[in-house]
Amino acid sequence: MAEEFVEGNFLGLAKPDGQPDIVVLSVPYELTTSYGQGTAEGPSACVEASGQVELFDPLLGEDLPAGQRISTAPPWDGKGNNLAQQLDGISNYLSPWYDGEAFPVILGGEHGILPALVHAAGNHPLVNGDFSKLTIVQIDAHADLREELGGEAFSHACAASRAMDFGLKHLFQVGVRAFSQLEYNRIQNDEKITTYFASEIQQSKDSKWNNWLDEISQIEGPIHLTIDIDGLDGSLVPATGTPVPGGLTFWQTVETIQALFSSSKGVVISMDVNEIVPQKDTPLTQFTAAMLATKGIVHHINARRLGNWVKQTSAGSGINQSRPSTSYFQNL
Domain 25-306 CATH class label: alpha beta
Contact 241, 282 (CB under 8 A): no
Question: 8 vs 67, 243, 278, CA distance in Å?
Answer: 21, 27, 16
In tens, the pLDDT along 215-258 reads 999 999 999 999 999 999 999 998 877 788 999 999 999 999 99
In tens, the pLDDT along 27-58 reads 998 665 444 456 788 999 999 999 999 999 99
Confidence of residue 148 (pLDDT cuts 50, 70, 90): confident
Tell me the C-alpha distance between 267 and 250, whole Å. Answer: 23
Tell me the C-alpha distance between 156 and 113, whole Å. Answer: 8
Q: Are strands 221-228 and 193-197 parallel, antiparallel or unpaired?
A: unpaired
- Which pLDDT belongs to residue 317? 40
* pTM of this prediction exceeds 0.85: yes
Bigger pLDDT: 149 vs 230: 230
